[in-house]
Amino acid sequence: MAAIKEVKIQDESVTLGQFLKICDLISSGGEAKFFLRENEVFVNEEKEDRRGRKLYENDLVKINDEAFKVCR
């Protein structure tokens, strides 16, 4: 697996759908549902398919072969 990429968020939390936009994996919020259906996404080692899932500082998000850490 490649190095873990740190992704900075402005607020205390962000939804998984917003996070996908911040990471430039989708271009609009409407794409989140489709993206989550078509890709394996894990949050802190648990499979996740809810675009509204809240992410907080230090959460680890794995998408296919990439890993991201939520930072503030």
Handedness of CA 72, 64, 50, 43 (dihedral sign): negative
Q: Domain residues for 19?
A: 5-71
**How far from 5 is each of 11, 30, 33, 34, 37, CA to CA, in Å?**
18, 24, 23, 23, 23
Number of domains in the chain: 1
pLDDT category of residue 53 using cuts at 50, 70 and 90: very high
State how far the Cα of 14 lies from the Cα of 11, in Å rounded to an integer: 7
Query: What CATH number is given to the structural domain containing 16?
Result: 3.10.290.10
Region 27-39 average pLDDT: 93
In DSSP terms, 56 is beta-bridged to 13
With a cut of 70, say whether residue 44 has pLDDT above it: yes
Question: Which residue spans within the chain are E strands per DSSP?
Answer: 5-8, 13-15, 41-43, 46-47, 54-56, 60-63, 66-71
Q: What is the pLDDT of residue 56?
A: 98
